[in-house]
Amino acid sequence: MRKGIDTELFLQVKKQHWIGEGEQILLALSGGADSMYLLYFLKELQKHLSFSLRAMHVQHGIRGEEAVEDAAFSRQQAELYQVPFLEYTCSVPDYAEENKLGLEEAARTLRYKALKEEALRWQAESGRKTKIALAHHMDDQAETILFHLIRGAGFSGISGMKAEELLSEAEKEAHYAVNQEANQEPHQEGITLLRPLLSLRKEEILKRLEELGIPYREDSTNRDKSYARNYLRLDILPALEKINAGAVKHLLEAAELFSETEAFFQEKTKEWIEQYGEWEQSSSGKSISLSIPQLKKENALFRREIYKEAIFLLRGSTTEFGKLHYHGIDYLLKRGNGGRLSLPKGVQARVEQKRLLLEKF
């Protein structure tokens, strides 16, 4: 492969309008194969499209000297490509212990938090639209779908990652906190996540790096099967492909169907809430009330999707909310007036006359 832009990927970016003239792209640069290929591609893309590019490396404080070397390598490569570089250091083990999280989830939480804060800062500084570029590929997508499926995720989780989405939308099922106020500052339109490599298999990326002579770092923890995602990637997906060579492709096709289903429900629940919901504000917090007679006319599945959308509108995230919580809210309708249920993250559901109140304290 000769040096130059990946034509197919370039046409996809152009067709989907993932990057616009004058926009700012903050690349999550780990130094691994995927992010190194995305760095190369974005630099080539700048020859055809005018946009600003910065790279950010998040050092998790997990792998000691190896992690320090990854950060140094990432900085060196960014400088080689003449891309401004930022490094953020945190302690994932401490954060995981304090918040009772696994290392994978804690690392993801802090990584996205750091990227989001820097993107918002850069956007506020320049007043220009800023997007975060992530190097997830097709195998990551299949792994994510399986991971969410076995955890009992809803439509959002099983629909997988999107090539382009607002960070606030991604946070409906993601494992990091939402800062609503930050997204509502003047001149800020919210931060968009870009995943331009979702159409590529991992083996394709490795082949292109070899042909181009681009170096990259190997994360030793990626071979540790005690991490659930690694086990899925190293053992389960290959086993599925032995059963059916098109297993990954079929998983992605199923994800696309779930994504369409999710979009349909999201549109319909928003319309429903606009028609039958009422917002209230008090000294103790804010609430949204829903018409119980109208709720009882709806299918049970649709009611649960209404509760989910209402909670997202109320607090900006449905993290920590699951099927049991939505079933619990539904049960209040049967109990009638006076029913009350405490939910995660300071949310409470109660029945008052013919209204279901969801309150955030």
What digits encode the pLDDT tens for the residues 309-335? 999 888 877 877 888 899 999 999 888
Distance from C-alpha of 208 to C-alpha of 214, rounded to nearest angstrom: 9
Tokens at residue 172, please?
């409906």
Judge whether 61 is annotated as a binding position: no
Residue 233 neighbours by CB under 8 Å, 6+ apart = 139, 143
Q: Which amino acid is at 160?
A: G
Task: Judge contact between 144 and 161, C-beta under 8 A.
Answer: yes
Task: Judge contact between 176 and 182, C-beta under 8 A.
Answer: no
**Orientation angle between helical segments 202-212 and 138-150, nearest 10 degrees:** 150
Q: Quote the pTM value.
A: 0.79
Judge whether 30 is annotated as a binding position: yes
Tell me which residue has tokens 């389960």.
236
Judge whether 190 is annotated as a binding position: no
Q: Which amino acid is at 187?
A: H
Report DSSP state, residue 262: H
According to DSSP, the β-strands at 130-133 and 340-343 are unpaired
What strands, in cross-sheet order, belong to the sheet with 347-352?
277-282, 285-291, 355-360, 347-352, 340-343
Task: Judge contact between 246 and 142, C-beta under 8 A.
Answer: no
For residues 159, 161, 162 and 164, what is the CA-based torsion angle, rounded to 10 degrees? 150
Please tell me the predicted confidence (pLDDT) of residue 176: 30
Please tell me the predicted confidence (pLDDT) of residue 102: 81
Please tell me the predicted confidence (pLDDT) of residue 131: 97
Please tell me the predicted confidence (pLDDT) of residue 212: 95
Please tell me the predicted confidence (pLDDT) of residue 283: 60
What strands, in cross-sheet order, belong to the sheet with 85-89?
85-89, 52-59, 24-28, 130-133, 192-194, 164-166
Judge whether 291 is annotated as a binding position: no
Distance from C-alpha of 145 to C-alpha of 161, rounded to nearest angstrom: 8
| Under-70 pLDDT residues of the chain | 1-2, 168-189, 282-284
Instruction: Return the exposure string of 184-211: e unless at least 16 CB atoms fall within 10 Å of the residue's CB, then b.
Output: eeeebebbbbbbbbbebeeebbeebbee
Please tell me the predicted confidence (pLDDT) of residue 334: 85
According to DSSP, the β-strands at 340-343 and 347-352 are antiparallel
- DSSP H helical segments within the chain, as ranges? 7-16, 33-45, 65-80, 92-99, 103-126, 138-150, 155-158, 167-170, 180-183, 202-212, 228-231, 237-243, 247-276, 292-296, 300-315, 323-335
Tell me which residue has tokens 């779930």.
258
